[in-house]
Chains A and B, each alone.
Chain A
Amino acid sequence: MTLSLTRALNLIGAWALALLWILPLAYAVWTAFHPAAYEARFDLFAPLTLENFAKAWEAAPFARYFLNTFVLVTAILIGQFILGTLAAYAFARFEFPGRNILFALVLVQLLVMPDILIVENYRTIRALGLIDTIGAIAIPYIASGFGIFLLRQTFMSVPKELVEAAQIEGMSTLGILLKVYVPLAVPTYLAYGLVSVSHHWNNFLWPLIVTNSVETRPVTVGLSIFASIDSGVEWSVINAATLMTSGPLLIAFLLFQRQFVQSFMRAGIK
């Protein structure tokens, strides 16, 4: 009796929260497919239109922006994984002079987000001649204190016996990393990958400052064209643009959510 009541309450709570959470997306869909006059009128018989998409498409080359974002996010992720893995491995496995100081420096980067150091970083990028490249957006983030820290935590929990066994088998230092440590850290890679992708997918200010052209700008900068101040917000167009750019990710999630969650799980159970 009480169990089924709890269950019903849970169901109601879950759905109420879900409806609340999906509201912005629902509103985006509503406005994107209806004429601007229905932005604030929720009339079931409102005429449908694709004009907002056409307008948004015309206003900015979103296909290109999307590609840029994709390249950017992938490049950052790969860079972070490689550099983070190497550094975390050094911290987790070796004793060496300066270890504590260097690790403290890594911890510093947990807090000193490059987001704050824009002016200084712009100077550096300029000196490197990288202004207006996707690389310029990526490189301040490519070594991530957070990633190193997280991977080190995971690597530290790798059983010593495994490592010793591998050593006896004559595996090289890098071989042990790749064959022993990395496979055990897959859930951490997934979790960290998600944080990283989500952050850079959303990042706005830094890309705006270091890029100048369509060929390098990510989606967020493209979207900001509609957040104009003089003429008021055009919800229908900005939402159409949002859907166009976020749609692929959403659909991918819908299709792969089971695999996605399961891979977290499988990796974790090992």
Chain B
Amino acid sequence: MISKLKAAVAGLALMASPALAVDLEFYFPVAVGGAAANTIEELTNEYIAANPGVNIDAIYAGSYQDTVAKALTAARGGNAPQLSVILSVDMYTLFDEDLIHAFDDFATTDEDKAWLKSFYPSFMENSMIDGKTYGIPFQRSTPVLYYNKEAFAEAGLTDAPATWEEMKDYAGKLTKKDDAGNVTQWGVRIPSSGFPYWLFQGLTTSNGATLVTDNGTKTNFDDPKVVEALEYLVSLSKDGVMAPGIIEWGATPKAFFEGQTAMMWTSTGNLTNVRKNAPFDFGVAMLPANKRRGAPTGGGNFYLFKGGSDEETKAAFDFIKWISQPTQAAKWSIATGYVAPSPATWDSKEMQDYAADFPPALVARDQLEHAVAELSTYENQRVTRIFNDALHAAITGDKSAADALAEAQAKADAVLKAYR
């Protein structure tokens, strides 16, 4: 009865102030299972409750791909959302389509300007163009190495591999075969379906290569260091310590739980999942180093879309600022396993408690120091597709690493020429 009354009062209040209300549309993708959508909605509702006059319609828009498709389609139809979480690598595409605002245009106070500088620099590499901030890191991740401690103990190993050489060596020791000579446990699993370039960047970066230069207009796919990295990846399968062929990303955590592989490379976005479901003691480590340590960052940024009224855009800006504050970001990070994007968040009490309870969460943070931007160019999806196809061709043995990458470089040049 009382709740009904409350609802009625709230309804009246709403009716009384329609002119003041700002309605925002907020598209978000979910890439880590069902519960994440609920967390977004909780946070949004919390903000609405604290800010009467702002109404945010949080719209689950599918996967990352679906979300960018939806946002672009809507924008072309003249119906862009005011804000959206979209992959950080789609920034150039959104910029090129002239769909997004620079946050600097709205960061008028000193406090706002400080906020723009409050995130980890490795995340900002994918969030700025020409010194202006176009994305605010939110659901960001980085790949790490998960390992099965029980399998390690069985093979007489204690620590995670620190270098490429060690990883391959360990993987050899961890690969088990049955009497018929069929493998029952692989040493390592680096999934290559869908978007292989991302994990592969863990190899190119640690080999000292930079895949993209010149503000997203030039790729270096045929750099000998990249070729070397691909040859290493191919050699893992060829030498029988990793399953041959394309390895499915979606089935990778399950393969790890089932003891099909002793080590796996996958996103930190999987931490919560692995923690809940691994039937054995597991460890998390940074990706192994070769010439240096290195990994890409990944995941999604907040973008501020053009097309709304000033009032709406300002309200969207305020919401993004609010949700990226330590308390909210910590809540999000803990619920999903995404890496909290600012040092302040890691200093918050919630995060401190979480890390004390679950130290592997810190690995991702520590790796950020070595992390670089995820492969991102103009016409990003087309260029990464070219690169992915080349990786697939090499992994499945259709082409040599050098040939595949040289071809990919030529194709990417043809696409990017127009932007230089």
- Nearest CB on B from A184, distance (A): 44
Contact mask A199-221 → B, CB, 8 Å, 1/0? 00000000011001100000001
Which chain B residues lie closer than 8 Å to A126 at the CB level?
A: 77-79
**Closest partner residue, chain A, to B31 (CB atom):** A230
B81 to nearest A CB, angstroms? 9
CB-based contact B254/A228 at 8 Å: no
* Alpha-carbon distance between A267 and B74 when the two chains are bound, in angstroms: 46
Say yes or no for B69: interface residue by CB 8 A criterion: yes
Check: B269 CB closer than 8 A to any chain A CB.
yes
Encode contact with A along B100-143: 1 for CB under 8 Å, 0 otherwise. Answer: 00000000000000000000000000000000000000000100
Whether A213 lies near B31 (C-beta < 8 A) is no
A122 cross-chain contacts in B, Cβ below 8 A: 73-74, 76-77
Contact A229 B270 (CB under 8 A): no
Distance in angstroms between the alpha carbons of A233 and B273 in the assembled complex: 11
The answer for the CA separation of A55 and B33 in the assembled complex, in Å, is 11
Complex interface bits, A37-66 against B, C-beta within 8 A gives 1, otherwise 0: 101100000000000000110111000000
Q: Are A209 and B57 in contact (CB under 8 A)?
A: no
Q: How far is the CA of A37 from the CA of B258 in the complex (A)?
A: 8
State in angstroms the CA–CA spacing of A152 and B194 once bound together.
45
Q: Are B270 and A228 in contact (CB under 8 A)?
A: no
Q: Which residues of A contact B350 (CB under 8 A)?
A: none
Q: Which of B237-260 contact A (CB under 8 A)?
A: 249-254, 257-258
Q: How far is the CB of A137 from chain B (nearest CB, A)?
A: 14
Nearest to A211 among chain B residues (CB) is: B59
Does B228 sit within 8 A of A, measured CB to CB?
no
A32 CB → nearest B CB, Å: 15
A231 touches B253 (CB 8 A): yes
Minimum C-beta distance from B194 to chain A (A): 7
Chain A residues with CB under 8 A of B250: 229, 232-233
Within 8 A of A (CB), among B209-260: 249-254, 257-258
| A18 interface hit (Cβ, 8 Å) | no
Residues of B within 8 A of A58 (CB): 34, 38
Q: Is A158 an interface residue (CB 8 A)?
A: no
Q: Is B30 positioned at the interface, with any CB of A under 8 Å from its CB?
A: yes
Partner of B277, one of A37, A213, A224, A228: A37
B252 adjacent to A208 (CB under 8 Å): no
- B35 lies within 8 A of A123 (CB): no
Fill in one digit per residue for A224-258: 1 if any B CB lies within 8 Å of its CB, else 0. 11111111111101000000000000000000000
A-B pair number, CB within 8 angstroms: 99
**Of residues 260 to 290 in B, which have CB atoms within 8 Å of A's CB atoms?**
266-267, 269-270, 272-273, 277, 279
The answer to whether B150 has its CB under 8 Å from any CB of chain A is no
Q: For the complex formed, measure the closest distance between the CB of A163 and the CB atoms of chain B, giving whole angstroms.
A: 47
In the complex the two chains form, is B31's CB within 8 Å of A212's CB? Answer: no
- Is the beta-carbon distance between B37 and A229 smaller than 8 angstroms? no
**Other-chain contact of B31, A60, A118, A209, A229 (Cβ < 8 Å):** A229
Closest-by-CB residue of A relative to B277 is A36
The listed residue (A226, A231, A233, A234) touching B269 by CB distance below 8 A is: A231
Cα distance A93–B59 in the bound complex, in angstroms: 49
How distant is the Cα of A228 from the Cα of B337 in the complex, in angstroms?
15
Provide the residues of chain B in CB contact with A221, threshold 8 Å: 62
Separation of A212 and B58 alpha carbons in the complex (Å): 9
A119 interface contact, C-beta 8 A? yes
Interface residue from A39, A125, A225 paired with B37 (Cβ < 8 Å): A225
Say yes or no for A131: interface residue by CB 8 A criterion. yes
Q: Mark A86-127, 1 if CB is under 8 A from B, else 0.
A: 000000000000000000000000000000001100110110
The CA of A229 and the CA of B69, in the complex, are separated in Å by: 16
Task: Determine whether the beta carbon of B63 is less than 8 Å from that of A228.
Answer: yes
CB distance from B268 to the nearest CB of A (A): 9
Interface pair A37/B279, CB less than 8 Å apart: yes
Q: Give the docked Cα–Cα distance between A213 and B31 (Å).
A: 18
Q: Which of A39, A228, A230 has the most CB of B within 10 A?
A: A230
Q: Can you name the residue of chain B whose Cβ is closest to the Cβ of A123? A: B77
| Cβ-based interface call for B370 (8 A) | no
Contact of B60 among A119, A131, A225 (CB under 8 A): A225
Expressed in whole angstroms, the Cα–Cα distance for A232 and B251 within the complex equals 6
Known: A126-B78, A208-B66. A232 touches B34 (CB 8 A): no
Question: CA of A59 to CA of B38 in the docked complex: distance in angstroms?
Answer: 7
CA distance A229 to B248 in the complex (A): 10
26 A-B residue pairings within 8 Å (CB atoms): A36-B277, A37-B277, A39-B254, A58-B38, A59-B35, A60-B37, A122-B76, A125-B77, A131-B77, A208-B70, A209-B69, A212-B25, A225-B30, A225-B62, A226-B33, A226-B34, A228-B33, A229-B249, A230-B267, A230-B270, A231-B269, A232-B270, A232-B273, A233-B250, A233-B251, A237-B33
Supply 19 further A-B pairs (C-beta < 8 A) apart from A119-B73, A230-B141, A232-B251: A122-B73, A125-B77, A209-B70, A221-B62, A224-B62, A224-B63, A225-B60, A225-B62, A228-B30, A228-B63, A229-B64, A229-B249, A230-B269, A231-B269, A231-B272, A232-B250, A232-B270, A233-B251, A237-B34
Interface residue ranges, A against B (CB under 8 Å): 36-37, 39-40, 55-56, 58-60, 118-119, 122-123, 125-126, 131, 208-209, 212-213, 221, 224-235, 237
